[in-house]
Amino acid sequence: MALMQEKKAKTPLLSRQQLLAVFDEDEEQAEAKYAELYHKLLRFFEWRKATDPSDLVQETITRGLQNLQVGKEITTIDPAHYFMGIARNVEKERWKRRPVEPLDEQELFGARAAFLGLNLPEQKIYLKECLSQLSREEFELLLAYIEGAANEWGLARGLQPGAVRLRVHRLRKRIEHWVDARTSRAAKKK
């Protein structure tokens, strides 16, 4: 413990200008590169569906700057690569520390929630009505998507993954429109 305090005491704290100099010698350019790095990291965590991306960006930058404070050097040409590496580690840690919450028996075997105020037989009829409005190809796509094989379905038809995602998105929006129409009809009846 005493050795750690001695190391901290021996390493002088870097000033704001010295920390920004990591990005560029010119202070304005360094600030611009810092802002660009911040936005890159923010997009990185948003793409990975983090619930708190700005907090994770701050954690990443803080770790990187703390490493510089204790004397570590950035060995890459672009400091953004160094911080992206730290971001990957922060992301891995985020997944590892997710708490495991056991489900109650009530949650496992609880009653099924009513969909659109319909009981189970009515839900099945409504599902059949919706599915009957789909073409054969749309139905196969929906089925492949649900089974996690949408990309394979698209490749078999010569479609790129982006085109398959677009078709699934449009199909989903159409089905949502049908559901919305039903809910608005049900609301008018009441």
Residues 22 and 91 in one domain: yes
The alpha carbon of residue 105 and the mean position of all alpha carbons in its chain are separated, in whole angstroms, by 30
Residues 19 and 87 in one domain: yes
Tokens of 61: 């930058």
Q: Which domain holds residue 142?
A: 114-189
Number of structural domains (the chain) is 2
Full pLDDT tens readout for the chain, 190 residues: 444 444 444 555 667 777 777 888 888 888 898 899 999 999 999 998 888 889 999 999 889 888 888 888 888 888 889 999 999 999 988 877 666 677 666 555 555 555 666 777 888 888 888 888 999 999 999 899 888 888 899 999 999 989 999 999 999 899 888 888 877 776 676 6
For residue 25, the 8-state DSSP code is S
**Integer Cα distance of 84 and 68 in angstroms:** 15
At residue 129, the pLDDT reads 86
Residues 61 and 125 in one domain: no
pTM over cut 0.85: no
CA torsion sign for 128, 131, 132, 136 is negative
Residues 161 and 120 in one domain: yes
Residue for token pair 């960006």: 57
At residue 113, the pLDDT reads 56
Domain with residue 153: its CATH number is: 1.10.10
The phi-psi region of residue 117 (left if phi > 0; otherwise alpha if psi is between -120 and 50; otherwise beta) is left
Residues 18 and 92 in one domain: yes
